[in-house]
Copies of this chain bind each other. A is one copy, B any other.
């Protein structure tokens, strides 16, 4: 069994930082403030409203919310979602929509559809680790492209493609409030990226969990929208960040023929997305409105982002070379502390009662060792302040130990 592709690939990647870090957290116990997982704020999940809706779903002699459902997704959810997309100025047809078990399954489906061993996938650098796992299980080769304050440095792509010796089959991008950096791809670069993808006959895998979660600015048009149905973009989305991660409900937008083949593949993956979760999302959208809910989330998470940026300034403003991104949305801030080895700092930080994911988790290269991904949506504003004070103490302790060592 040791000759399987999985044994050599997936573990190699996830065995690195995310798993090691979360393992550290689990073994640590104690009172830890977590800037780790990209989880929803506990008070941002409308549990009471969902609970009321659930009781209606259970009050049904046919128990249809607990039996199998269609592989393409529940009709009520599909209808509600198509309306919401239209309200966001992203109209889509019924044939271009597939409901998935969270956004991650959408990414896995796209990789499964498009990737053969040896194919090149161009990604942002740093990027989402679980996408790297999925790519690795199909034995494709990751080529990482640098980012700056305007997102992916699109002009660097031609040189990278030339070095790789082949055009990328997929270009994996999180254009809005990227994970882990929080950076958003500029409008000009979006058009340039689409042009490049078309010239390579590459498909852009657009991962957009955070697109609606802008704080203090409007959402940018997605790559899928900008492509206007030309088939250069497959868009992967989720209710995890805008409603409740534990329901594991997401969706994919793509050309109808691609969706049709994805439905076929789903039969061999998980049959269908959990029906109860889909019905809950649909009922919430009908009774409470997802658009309205997101307006409230933007307000709430926007305050948390402000708190994190303020407390970073307070605690790390005097650290030579320290720098961090200033996102306008999403879930994460990316902190760089020159000279730090974040894989080591995380252990010291846990001893000080604070947790983050080290930068090495977000790359297949040896880069970003001195970077930290900080989630600001899960902790409260008070915890953000206290957690960053603890992180500063951990940093000072580690640097002190280092200078003495």
Contact = CB atoms under 8 A, between A and B. Distances in A.
B45 A67 contact: yes
Closest 5 interchain pairs by CB?
A51-B58, A133-B268, A246-B275, A134-B268, A66-B244
A247 B276 contact: yes
Interface of A: 1, 3-7, 10-11, 14-15, 18-19, 26, 37, 39-40, 42-43, 45, 47-48, 50-51, 54-55, 57-70, 101-102, 104-105, 107-108, 112-116, 129-137, 203, 240, 244-248, 258, 260-261, 264-265, 267-277
Given A62-B42, A267-B14, A274 B261 contact: no
A26 B59 CA distance: 25
Contacts of A137: 112, 265, 268
Contacts of A4: 113-116
A63 B42 contact: yes
Contacts of A272: 248
Most buried by B among A37, A62, A133, A265: A265
Contacts of A5: 116
Given A63-B45, A133-B268, A276-B276, A101 B261 contact: no
B7 A261 contact: yes
B66 A246 contact: yes
A113 B6 contact: yes
Contacts of A1: 113-114, 203, 258
Most buried by B among A5, A11, A37, A51: A51
Nearest to A132: B268
B244 A273 contact: no
A50 B68 contact: no
B67 A6 contact: no
A169 to B, nearest CB: 9
B269 A108 contact: yes
A267 B18 contact: yes
B245 A66 contact: yes
Contact of A248 (B11, B113, B260, B274): B274
A360 to B, nearest CB: 16
Contacts of A59: 48, 51
Given A63-B42, A68-B39, A264-B14, A102 B271 contact: yes
A101 B274 contact: yes
B47 A51 contact: no
A137 to B, nearest CB: 6
Contacts of A40: 63, 66-67
B42 A268 contact: no
A58 B66 contact: no
